[in-house]
Structure 1
Amino acid sequence: MRLVILGGGESGVGTAILGKKKGYDVFVSDLGKIKGNYKEVLIINEIAWEEEKHTEDLILNADVVMKSPGIPDKSPMIKKLLAKGVSVLSEIEFAAPFTDATIIGITGSNGKTTTTMLTHHLLKSAGLNVGVGGNIGKSFAWQVAENKYDSYVLELSSFQLDGIMNFKPHIAIITNISPDHLDRYDYKYENYIDSKFRITMNQTEDDYLIYDADDEAITEWFKTHTTKAKLIPFSLTKTFSEGAYIKNNKMEISINQEEFTMDTAHIALEGKHNMKNAMAATSVAKLMQIRKATIRESLSNFQGVEHRLEKVLKILNVQYINDSKATNVNATFFALDSMNTPTVWIVGGVDKGNDYNELMSLVREKVKAIICLGVDNKKIIDVFGNVVDMMIEVSTMNDAVRMAQRLSEKGDTVLLSPACASFDLFENYEDRGNQFKQAVKNL
């Protein structure tokens, strides 16, 4: 069996290692350059590869193709493969049959990384032999090849879910859905929503779907679709006999006739959106039979996720916050919503079809100055130009942070929450966040 892998990044190389171990004839092809550390792994494992090209003769003879999530279905090579009837899978679909571990799959437009890390923290603290992967950290396929975990917590992007056929998590979570990546879905929001719900398409009556019952897109989907999975909703406003909710500043969870309550003041994560993430993760912990005392302790000592509302430093009584992971408007909405001081907001990057008007009321209420950090800031300036007193364009992170320091006064917050992808000026959101933190430390 010939396995061809398009994309020599984390998921591609992980799949190559698993494929080789399972006896496939493996070939890795990347249109760009393959990073040095990944090349070394391929060479040591005697896996054939090429970079900066796709040689058709070596690809179209595949029995199965794993494509990296970054490659769209519209790309010419994918079209040719599909026309030949070659099955094109995601890493998740390829790797899942090779493990009998319990899989917890987490998707959503925002909150999925925090929920994934918190869920992993809850299960690991309870002594479970649990791996974490998918859209973050070490590739799932790589871990299936080399580790023997009893369960996995996987963060799953819509791109990864687009490439599944039989994959089914025992427990699925949809944190929320808001317009994102619409450029990959023919600018049709319903296509993107359907893509997220693929996480539950193969689930049976023995499986669970945990979801945000306050979310408009999710609620609408349920009006015309069904899933066989047992439903566990969570909400900030509604209450359930089976599900999770907040009432009188307490998180209350009722699952399979078992109750769990905890004072929200003792939960380490702050902000309304994080209460939702905590309810989702705790619902998993309850399904996995984790002791209440362990859950309480883990929720109170969780450190949060880097680049997500990460407090960097306080300088001259101004708090600097790194929210570089906010790559869409909805994520920035949560960030601005959780500010309770006058805010200098650093925003901008590659716009994915954003509607900034959703942020208007929060910007009027909380933002004193806007610093645009992007190659093209026209849209942001058009929307907020008359709303804030100060609007400045910069082209480097150092300039953004220095300007923010000038515009801020004691008691203010400087918030990097770009609402955009980072690829115009940075490698990725981590690079953007790290540059912000370094610039703050240099002040």
Structure 2
Amino acid sequence: MGTLGIIIAIFVIVFMAMKGFSIVFIAPVASIIVIITNGMDFFPSLIGTEASFMTGLTGFIINYFAVFLLGSILAQYIEKSGAAQAIAQKVLSITGTEKPFPVLVAIFLIGAILTYGGISLFVVLFVVIPLAKPLFQQLNIAWNLIVIPVFLGIGTFTMTMLPGTPSIQNVVPTKYLGTQLTAAPLIGIVATIVAIAAGIWYMRFALNKSIKNKETFKLDEEANEKQIELKEKVPSFFLSILPILVLIVIIFVGSAMKVENIVLIGLGAAVIISAIIFYKYIPSHKQAVSLGANGSVMPIFFTSASVAFGVVITLAPGFQAISDFILGIPGNPLISLTIASAALGAITGSASGGLGIAMEAFAQSYLAMGVDPDAMHRISAIASSVFTGLPHAGAVLSLFALTGLTHKNAFKYVFIIMTLPNLLALIAALIIGIFFY
């Protein structure tokens, strides 16, 4: 009955998320289902101070709030100053805007540069869409193809694979495994190459097929797309990318020296530099800081709610059967860890949420088996993202809201571009992890 209750709760999370309910509401509802069906003490399991839904929620916030806060403030500076726009325009000037495929490559590169520089994928969407739309219209490219370069840039290798990336998916394992942001660089680099190659191939394939089918730029007349204005005065490309370069250098040097909380040091330095060099490009620093601070609240609550649900699951008696099944999967332990991380990422529709649950539930068990922590870090992070291109994922819903696209006319591209590169990269990562770690 307990295991069945967990399965029902997971179904409720997926179903309600696809219906548009917030995970902040869904997670406690699903947790209550788990608590009741597993015969757990109700209030101690829900709001207790020892091990409960609430301690799972607050524990995640305590560990990662500073990362979300500084990252969100940095994103505001990069966006409000026009720095992100300047970076995007520089990339477009290099790739050109006369042919369809180079434009798609440029959009992909813009997303990758910004997310590797610590900018939230949601902010990147606000930068890329208004730049891409007139180009798609000018070249008569089918508008639903926009999701391919966007998600290839923000939802694959810069999220989980590239060593040193400041994404929350790369930070989460460090807290459980004692690893650095540059963990398992060989695995990360090979996975990145595989993901980019697969993504570029599919992007060209989808574009050629669209042209062959004579698909053109056409917006749904009923689409409620959001209009975003571009800034006229923006900083130079060098100034625009300087905070991002500083962040990356600090992370790599600090990780090599095994400095604790290096991502916070890097983000803090990037914010200070941004405040100085973008001073004349931002009308109100108070507004930028305040918007950044406020903007960090909902993302961390969304993720922490998913993790809190995971904590309740791990405490439930019915979870023992699931845990035994996962730990008992034959073969290298990295394979079973991969299955657990991928499944939990799919269930929550969030790579960071699924990864947090997987680390909470299994990290210590795998470390006790003697599994290399660096390999665990990189492979579990990659696995958590494989099946997150699902209908209820927050990034998917946000992109559709910004572009006026729908699940009907664009979701197939989202699913393929999020799944294919990540899955192939995961297979490559597993092979390297099994034979070399």
TM-score range, shorter chain: under 0.3
Of Structure 1 and Structure 2, the greater strand share is in 1
The structure, 1 or 2, with the larger RCO (C-alpha pairs under 8 Å, 6+ apart) is 2
State TM-score, norm by structure 1.
0.26
Of Structure 1 and Structure 2, the greater helix share is in 2
State TM-score, norm by structure 2.
0.26
